[in-house]
Chains A and B, each alone.
Chain A
Amino acid sequence: MAVDQNTDAVPAKAALWRRPAFRATVFQILLVLGLVAFGYYLFQNTLHNLQLRGISTGFGFLSYEAGFGILQSLIEFDETHTYGRTFLVGLLNTLLIAGLGIFFATIIGFVMGVARLSKNWLIAKIATVYIETFRNIPLLLQIMFWYFAILQPLPGPRQSLSFNDSVFLNNRGFYLPGPVFGEGFNIVFAAIVIAIVAVIFLARWARKRQEDTGQQFHTVYASLAILFGLPLIVFFIMGSPLSWEYPALKGFNFKGGIVVIPELIALLVALSIYTGAFIAEAVRSGILAVSHGQTEAAYALGIRPGVTLRMVIIPQALRVIIPQLTSQYLNLTKNSSLATAVGYPDLVAVFAGTTLNQTGQAVEVIAMTMGVYLTISLTISMFMNWYNKRKQLVER
């Protein structure tokens, strides 16, 4: 102890290299330099070895023509586009499945988490069975199960199930009419944006008023009115600049409209249900972490159970839930790479699969792919950390 205190209290006049702070900095700089040098050595060594083995290196391949087709692409793509473009196509498909998966898993998770704590015996048991079943079956099996469970019973394109001759369901996908935006639709679009901004301001105003005066304002109804009313009015003023393109059977398959492929549906169902079970547990643990006294206090004040849950319990539970939620979101995103098992063209299937194989440039392709997952994961983490900070207990 005494010795420790001595070193801490080196007088400011001591030689530079004897100051702990200085020495710590120097060591850290040396460590970083060492790491960089090691990384550089690895990099050079890899290049050298690849060259020695006659394997092409570099990122030049990204501008070569890909020469293969991809099942689903959110941007324009055909076999004459480049390998670089296959990266984008795969990336967007990954983001699509991850985004949709997070959305549905969160809804399922919150509903099931709350349901498991329900006083209704049946509801609580259903939630328990759901959670215990789906959490304990390997995800890959679930994906395969849903895929073939969706494919097998559905009819072929010529015997499609159809609703109203505009929506079709068969084993090639779910076909919906696609919107065709006419002239002037961008003004309607602007109206939608304005409506959203207006609703945000309205909510803020309503909250401030309630904090100041205690008076409540029915934000929900007013918001709905603005959100739908404004764009609709503009839409009709502009002369309904929107038409629909209906899918129609041409040759072997349906053409036109929007198609949701069975690979996407299977993957989405599997990911949402699987991750939802974990989120449900996170939600349950968060709610249980809020002391029962809070509920009793709310009831004693005459607050109804639903409102108690929404306004008293959940906000406090969120502090426990959010960190777990973050790791579930990260898991879902990484698990989405199991897509390749059912042929959904995500980043791993398209870029780290076909592109890697056709070019043989494993090191570059895998480095880029890992970079993407790292970036997505860090972004989700950063956002959730920010959200977590906001929800933390603010001590007054």
Chain B
Amino acid sequence: MNKFHVIATSVALAAAFTTSAYAGARFDAIKAKGFVQCGVSTGLPGFSMADDKGSWSGLDVDVCRAAAAAMFGDASKVKYSPLTAKERFTALQSGEIDILSRNTTWTLTRDSSLGLNFAGVNYYDGQGFMVTKKLGVKSALELDGASFCIQAGTTTELNLADYFRANKMSYTPITYDSSDETAKAFDAGRCDALTSDQSQLYALRIKLGNPDGAVVLPEIISKEPLGPVVAQGDDEWFNLVKWSLYAMLNAEELGITSANVDEMKSSKDPNVLRLLGAEGIKGKGLGVADEWAYSIVKQVGNYGEAFERNVGMGSPLKIARGQNALWNKGGIQYAPPIR
């Protein structure tokens, strides 16, 4: 019951007498409790999805696992909280979760007025449309007067309104709580189109009764940089999450994979040695073990591996790297150096 959920967390916020008195309080608290509480979606193939045994996987899940690997040397020290789009920020603000890694778009409002910090971008996305083939629509500009199934509490709601306003077209939004209902309503013909971040359209299409009956339109109407988020007030924890993601990106750039990471330890490249904790500042600045990045690559893999496994060619989604390729491979994924 998400109503009670929101009420409960707001009451918790209101009653939070104990203010984190020192920086790093959360970092220490996570260390003490021994696991990372990770806010994920209620089920989005490729990004965060539980299998029938209840174990989670996905590109967003891997960010949490990387942070746990850096912190504890064990990527499995993660517990998951499935959240709808509406619930996610309250859960983070109230301290119920440590990281929100749930295809969340980095925007000015969210970064500046919700008490949150975005720790990077693990997927560059943009909003798109999916329609049934029967409709015979080729472009979003032909959708004047159409109705759209969308999810509440998302940037999708806002972009849709902006797009139709800018193009002087009319539309009807039908807003659901979870992606499951959104997909089901689209399946049942309640709306002409389903709109969401494009990657999620491919993910939702798998969930449809007849996936081949739906097409994704070519238009992208917004910028959706998706990334992990933490609550403000603990820079140490913020740093660790940020650099866990950067470590995955740097590892791909340096050609370190989960398969060759042990051999790489004897590499002559100082960049590789610094990442694997043999040289340089090691784990000192972050306050974790020296082999923090080694644990990430060994247990989670580098960014490219995670991408291919979850959403790329090794997955049912078959999304091309596109913008999410490394900066030196034609994409825009770029991580600051580890040194």
Interface size class of B (residues with CB under 8 A): 35 or more
Q: Which of chain A's residues have a CB closer than 8 A to the CB of B181?
A: 341-343
Which of A56, A172, A340, A358 is packed against the most chain B CB atoms within 10 Å? A358
A-B contact pairs, 7 of them (CB 8 A): A69-B157, A152-B188, A251-B146, A343-B176, A345-B175, A356-B153, A362-B9
Complex: A362 Cα to B86 Cα, angstroms: 11
Q: Which of chain A's residues have a CB closer than 8 A to the CB of B6?
A: 352, 356, 362, 366
Q: Which of chain B's residues have a CB closer than 8 A to the CB of A91?
A: none
- Asked if B28 is an interface residue, CB under 8 A from chain A, the answer is no
- Asked if A46 is an interface residue, CB under 8 A from chain B, the answer is yes
- Asked if A194 is an interface residue, CB under 8 A from chain B, the answer is no
B182 CB to closest chain A CB, in angstroms? 9
Complex: A291 Cα to B109 Cα, angstroms: 66
Q: Which of chain B's residues have a CB closer than 8 A to the CB of A69?
A: 157, 160-161, 171-173
Q: Which of chain A's residues have a CB closer than 8 A to the CB of B14?
A: 42, 46, 363
Q: A54-B115, A67-B161, A154-B189 are in contact. List 9 more A-B contacts (CB 8 A).
A: A46-B16, A52-B19, A53-B93, A54-B113, A79-B161, A171-B189, A349-B177, A354-B157, A366-B6
- A363 and B10 form a contact (CB under 8 A): yes
- Asked if A162 is an interface residue, CB under 8 A from chain B, the answer is no
- Among residues 356 to 375 in chain A, which have CB atoms less than 8 Å away from a CB atom of chain B? 356-360, 362-363, 366, 370
- B233 and A71 form a contact (CB under 8 A): no
A302 CB to closest chain B CB, in angstroms? 56
Which residue of chain A has its CB nearest to the CB of B15? A42
- A171 and B233 form a contact (CB under 8 A): no
Q: Which of chain B's residues have a CB closer than 8 A to the CB of A262?
A: 190
Interface residues of A (CB under 8 A from B): 42, 45-46, 48-50, 52-56, 67-71, 79-80, 148, 151-152, 154, 156, 171-172, 250-253, 255, 262-263, 337, 340-343, 345, 348-349, 352-354, 356-360, 362-363, 366, 370
- B152 and A349 form a contact (CB under 8 A): yes
Complex: A27 Cα to B208 Cα, angstroms: 65
Complex: A359 Cα to B110 Cα, angstroms: 8
- A362 and B115 form a contact (CB under 8 A): no
Complex: A337 Cα to B147 Cα, angstroms: 23
Complex: A358 Cα to B189 Cα, angstroms: 28
Complex: A171 Cα to B89 Cα, angstroms: 34
Complex: A49 Cα to B152 Cα, angstroms: 27
Query: Looking at the complex, which one of B109, B175, B232 makes contact with A343 (CB distance below 8 Å)?
Result: B175
- Asked if B32 is an interface residue, CB under 8 A from chain A, the answer is no
- A358 and B153 form a contact (CB under 8 A): yes
Interface residues of B (CB under 8 A from A): 2-3, 6-7, 9-10, 13-17, 19, 85-86, 89-90, 93, 109-110, 112-116, 143-147, 152-154, 157-158, 160-162, 165, 171-177, 181, 184-185, 188-190, 192, 231-233
Query: Looking at the complex, which one of B13, B93, B172, B184 makes contact with A253 (CB distance below 8 Å)?
Result: B172
- B171 and A354 form a contact (CB under 8 A): no
- A357 and B3 form a contact (CB under 8 A): no
- A263 and B3 form a contact (CB under 8 A): no
- A343 and B174 form a contact (CB under 8 A): yes
Which of A80, A362, A366 is packed against the most chain B CB atoms within 10 Å? A362
Complex: A378 Cα to B248 Cα, angstroms: 57
A381 CB to closest chain B CB, in angstroms? 21
Q: Which of chain A's residues have a CB closer than 8 A to the CB of B190?
A: 151, 171-172, 262
Complex: A360 Cα to B86 Cα, angstroms: 10
Complex: A252 Cα to B177 Cα, angstroms: 24
Given A49-B19, A67-B158, A79-B161 in contact, is the A362-B10 Cβ separation under 8 Å?
yes
Give the 10 A-B CB pairs with smallest separation, nearest first.
A357-B153, A360-B114, A79-B161, A55-B115, A251-B145, A53-B115, A56-B113, A54-B115, A151-B188, A68-B157
- B7 and A253 form a contact (CB under 8 A): no
Query: Looking at the complex, which one of B113, B143, B175 makes contact with A55 (CB distance below 8 Å)?
Result: B113
- A362 and B93 form a contact (CB under 8 A): yes
Complex: A55 Cα to B231 Cα, angstroms: 10
Which residue of chain A has its CB nearest to the CB of B172? A71
- A362 and B152 form a contact (CB under 8 A): no
- A348 and B3 form a contact (CB under 8 A): yes
- B3 and A340 form a contact (CB under 8 A): yes
Which residue of chain B has its CB nearest to the CB of A367? B10
Q: Which of chain B's residues have a CB closer than 8 A to the CB of A252?
A: 143, 145-147, 192
Q: Which of chain B's residues have a CB closer than 8 A to the CB of A263?
A: 174
- A337 and B17 form a contact (CB under 8 A): no
- A255 and B145 form a contact (CB under 8 A): yes
- B145 and A353 form a contact (CB under 8 A): no
Complex: A111 Cα to B3 Cα, angstroms: 33
Given A49-B16, A69-B171, A360-B114 in contact, is the A353-B153 Cβ separation under 8 Å?
yes
Q: Which of chain B's residues have a CB closer than 8 A to the CB of A148?
A: 184, 188
Complex: A55 Cα to B109 Cα, angstroms: 11
Q: Which of chain A's residues have a CB closer than 8 A to the CB of B161?
A: 67-69, 79
- A357 and B152 form a contact (CB under 8 A): yes
Complex: A253 Cα to B165 Cα, angstroms: 19
Which of A56, A148, A151, A366 is packed against the most chain B CB atoms within 10 Å? A366
Query: Looking at the complex, which one of A171, A255, A342, A352 makes contact with B3 (CB distance below 8 Å)?
Result: A352
